[in-house]
A = this chain, B = another copy of it.
Amino acid sequence: MPRGRRTGPTRTREAIVDAAQTAFATSGYDAVSLRSIARAAGVDPALVHHFFESKSALFAAAMALPVDPETFVTALLAGDRDTLGERLVLALVELWDQPDGFRGFLGLIRGAMSHEGAARMLREFVTREILGRLAEAAAPDHPHTRAALAGTQIIGLAVGRKIVGIAPLAEADPAWLATTIGPTIQRYLTEPLPPAV
């Protein structure tokens, strides 16, 4: 390959992030090498280091979300509060099912299993950016606890459907999942909680 800068506009950085998203979402954090990302992006390995200080910096960049959480939450809150759970499940599942829809989120989940930084990102993102705001708007009391409870069901669904691939879930219709699992979320977000012990 010729050395030196290519002529014309440049998309290399984007290509690297793109390849990294796919790789992290597919294989987690440790199993992915910078070299394999560079290969997938059609790029020299050293370029990855040129654009991103380290592997973990690239990981953080790749986890940037493809959907604006603000818009997402606002749209959900605009509808009927009694069906918030169902609509959240439906929206998430459809998002995950898009080929490029939520690669970042899946990578985040995978990464969180073995990487404390990713675990922190997942924790903060799920409970603060999404569920925390929904819980605050939906019920006055204990928004953090409600968000955490709903988070367990959502993470479990994501793992079961998109990562582990438990058959009845992986193939289930999104609408069916919404009517089946939605009420669980609804309960966690809005119904009275047992008193703490």
Contacts and interface: CB of A to CB of B under 8 A. Distances in A.
Interface in A20-34: 27-28, 30-31
Contacts of A151: 156, 160, 166
Contacts of A165: 119, 123
A122 B167 CA distance: 12
Nearest to A109: B113
B152 A180 contact: no
Contacts of A153: 152-153, 156, 184
A173 interface: yes
Nearest to A31: B30
Nearest to A169: B148
A163 interface: yes
A144 B167 contact: yes
A148 B168 contact: yes
Interface in A156-192: 156-157, 159-161, 163-169, 173, 175-176, 179-181, 183-184, 187
A147 to B, nearest CB: 8
A164 B112 contact: yes
Interface string A59-73: 000000000000000
A154 interface: yes
A129 to B, nearest CB: 14
A107 to B, nearest CB: 10
16 contacts: A28-B28, A112-B164, A119-B163, A123-B164, A123-B166, A145-B168, A151-B166, A152-B159, A153-B156, A155-B156, A155-B160, A156-B159, A176-B194, A176-B197, A184-B184, A184-B187
The 8 closest A-B pairs by CB, nearest first: A156-B156, A28-B114, A152-B156, A30-B30, A173-B197, A113-B113, A152-B160, A30-B31
